[in-house]
Structure 1
Amino acid sequence: MSTEKPLPFIYQFTAGAVAGVSEILTMYPLDVVKTRVQLQTGKGTGADSYNGMLDCFQKIVRNEGFSRLYRGITAPILMEAPKRATKFAANDEWGKFYRSVFGVDKMNQSLSILTGASAGATESFVVVPFELVKIRLQDKASAGKYTGMIDVVSKTIRNEGVLAMYNGLESTLWRHILWNAGYFGCIFQVRELLPEATTKRGKITNDLISGSIGGTVGTIINTPMDVVKSRIQNSPKVAGQVPKYNWAWGACATVMREEGFGALYKGFLPKVLRLGPGGGILLVVFTGVMDFFRSVRAS
């Protein structure tokens, strides 16, 4: 993401890993709330029904305990390092590839969107198994079925087969292609519009603004795919039965038909509150760590 000379892959990978873990430690409870709201298909009543983000927060803490807001965090922590590292490293590598293919020296808006989408597709193959584990641990209905991350993996493979760990790959591809295209495309455009930073503080501010806007736009674009991905991954495969939520666009149609278009944006508020500021945190930490590596190499 830096405009300076790119560092070798291992430095990009490490900086992305540090940025990802920093973001998830800060924002994870919002992800739990988002998933609970997305998986809710009816308007029921009681402790298992949520009227919005704050209601979900309150009911989880009151009925299940504060620690439940961090249930399933092991899988995301293990996922965040390769996921975010792959995101930023793939974005830089795809950027080099597309600049070479199209014969241009510098990135532009169109190439930023294309590069981000390609990085998102690459990232998807890394995250699917971790996402499946996370979703099943976060769902309250699944709380009694699994004792932890390893138990989810072993029971899923034993009951549904090895390939079930990649359940939801297609919807995850769409989710990450759309988010990364919006995220990196917006970062490029916003950086162009902001006054050039002349101090370290100004650079951090610009990164925080552009990353937050990019995260917000990416979230607006990809939330419907995130909703159906959550439902697809939380639906165990049963031999001889076609899951209600199977393929991304078909699942979108099912949700709209049964619950209305607005249901495709369930969990949007906690998601955008996480990935808007979270996108800024990602960019600031990634850029900061890369600058640190440059200073170490220079000395």
Structure 2
Amino acid sequence: MGLKGFVEGGVASIIAGCSTHPLDLIKVRMQLQGEAAAAPPSAAVQNLRPALAFHTAAHHHHIHVPPPPPRVGPVSVGLRIIQQDGAAALFSGVSATVLRQTLYSTTRMGLYDVLKTKWTDPNTNNMPLTRKIVAGLIAGGIGAAVGNPADVAMVRMQADGRLPAAQRRNYKSVVDAISQMSKNEGVVSLWRGSSLTVNRAMLVTASQLASYDQFKEMILEKGLMKDGLGTHVTASFAAGFVAAVASNPVDVIKTRVMNMKVEPGVAPPYTGALGCAMKTIRAEGPMALYKGFIPTISRQGPFTVVLFVTLEQVRKLLKDF
């Protein structure tokens, strides 16, 4: 019985992850916007601004494009990626998504399921919200620790296209990324930012799974809708919104810490999560922690909807096993 929750969660997560991958890519690029401006000159040279990268790319094709305005919305970021590198580029790092969902989401969904079965009151068949949240925190934390290497690989593969061709890391696949990272930066680098991944996953899992279950219970108890697609979509969209608000600040910092270049003899751009948060707020204001919120919500929304709707369908298919 325990194993089924893992399979269901895994299948649903991989489908949701792949279908919303372009939105995730756009989110990562937007969270790195404005980063170089705040960096000291040495780092600024390393993190050549996307505007510059775009400029050199435009240069190769001999089109003269004025540098784009510093703040751009998700649609223009997406269009620019397509113009520069073709539509397939929207799926760069998708192999990492599959691996990450396989490791991280299978673990978190399965564990949540196991804990839910354990902690549900057999008489009322309900689990109090606080217990749901605790179950989500535990499941998310463990899942993230397992999936962190794939997460770092994914952020780097997604961010790669911002760099001028000479500086790109050009990982061929997620396996290549992970093996190159352990060769060049030590195995420890695979868990870089893991305190952040774990924190974010605990927030996301708790807010996503607990609020989905809670919203679904409320809708059914109040008799607003029957248990079907409508309920699943409504509850999952609400859950996605809660998850986006809770996790975006951690997410921005996670993206920046995972992506930073650490060069021997150069002080790293960020000392750690807290240092990154302070530096970001000082240089770009507190709202910088909500950078990429529109793509986050436009990804968390569909991701959560696809995730739970698929999950409910997969559960139906497997209920006789």
Once residues 42 and 157 of structure 1 are traced to their aligned partners in structure 2, the CA distance between those partners, rounded to angstroms, is 26
Which among 168, 173, 178 is matched to residue 153 of structure 1?
178
Any conservation in 1 of the 2:119–2:127 contact (CA below 8 Å)?
Answer: no
Letter in 2 for 1:79: R
Aligned Cα root-mean-square deviation (Å): 2.5
Once residues 111 and 188 of structure 1 are traced to their aligned partners in structure 2, the CA distance between those partners, rounded to angstroms, is 12
1:83-119: per-residue Cα shift (whole Å, max 9, x none)? 221121111223345559xx99630111111111111
Using the TM superposition, give the Cα deviation of residue 63 of structure 1 relative to its aligned residue in structure 2, in angstroms.
1.6
1:122 aligns with 2:142: yes
Any conservation in 1 of the 2:220–2:226 contact (CA below 8 Å)?
Answer: no
Residue 245 of structure 1: aligned partner: 270
Any conservation in 2 of the 1:135–1:233 contact (CA below 8 Å)?
Answer: yes
Structure 1 unpaired stretches of 5+: 1-7
Residue 215 of structure 2: aligned partner: 190
Using the TM superposition, give the Cα deviation of residue 263 of structure 1 relative to its aligned residue in structure 2, in angstroms.
1.1
Residue 318 of structure 2: aligned partner: 293
When residues 246 and 205 of structure 1 are mapped into structure 2, their CA distance, relative to the original with a 3 A threshold, is farther
Q: Relative to structure 2, which stretch is displaced further, 29-38 or 229-238?
A: 229-238
- Return the TM-score normalized by structure 2: 0.81
1:126-146: per-residue Cα shift (whole Å, max 9, x none)? 221001111111112456322
1:260-298: per-residue Cα shift (whole Å, max 9, x none)? 111111111111111112112111111221221113x3x
Once residues 11 and 244 of structure 1 are traced to their aligned partners in structure 2, the CA distance between those partners, rounded to angstroms, is 44
Once residues 104 and 123 of structure 1 are traced to their aligned partners in structure 2, the CA distance between those partners, rounded to angstroms, is 29
When residues 82 and 151 of structure 1 are mapped into structure 2, their CA distance, relative to the original with a 3 A threshold, is closer
Q: Relative to structure 2, which stretch is displaced further, 163-172 or 147-156?
A: 147-156
Residue 2 of structure 2: aligned partner: 9
Residue 67 of structure 1: aligned partner: 88
**Could you say what secondary structure the match of 2:232 adopts?**
helix
When residues 246 and 201 of structure 1 are mapped into structure 2, their CA distance, relative to the original with a 3 A threshold, is farther
Once residues 290 and 188 of structure 1 are traced to their aligned partners in structure 2, the CA distance between those partners, rounded to angstroms, is 15
- The within-5 A match list for 1:175-214 is 175-195=200-220, 202-214=227-239
Using the TM superposition, give the Cα deviation of residue 213 of structure 1 relative to its aligned residue in structure 2, in angstroms.
0.9
Q: Relative to structure 2, which stretch is displaced further, 117-126 or 34-43?
A: 34-43
Once residues 101 and 126 of structure 2 are traced to their aligned partners in structure 1, the CA distance between those partners, rounded to angstroms, is 29
Any conservation in 2 of the 1:94–1:115 contact (CA below 8 Å)?
Answer: yes
Using the TM superposition, give the Cα deviation of residue 164 of structure 1 relative to its aligned residue in structure 2, in angstroms.
0.6
Which among 230, 254, 264 is matched to residue 279 of structure 2?
254
When residues 68 and 223 of structure 1 are mapped into structure 2, their CA distance, relative to the original with a 3 A threshold, is same
Residue 5 of structure 1: aligned partner: none
- The within-5 A match list for 1:1-299 is 8-40=1-33, 41-42=35-36, 45=51, 47=54, 51-98=72-119, 106-139=126-159, 140-141=161-162, 144-149=168-173, 150-195=175-220, 202-239=227-264, 242-295=267-320, 297=321
Letter in 2 for 1:62: Q
Letter in 2 for 1:286: L
Structure 2 unpaired stretches of 5+: 38-48, 56-69
Letter in 2 for 1:23: A
Q: Give the aligned length.
A: 286
- Fraction of identical pairs, as percent: 26
Once residues 217 and 126 of structure 1 are traced to their aligned partners in structure 2, the CA distance between those partners, rounded to angstroms, is 24
Once residues 307 and 169 of structure 2 are traced to their aligned partners in structure 1, the CA distance between those partners, rounded to angstroms, is 33
Any conservation in 2 of the 1:108–1:188 contact (CA below 8 Å)?
Answer: no
**Could you say what secondary structure the match of 1:243 adopts?**
coil
Residue 4 of structure 1: aligned partner: none
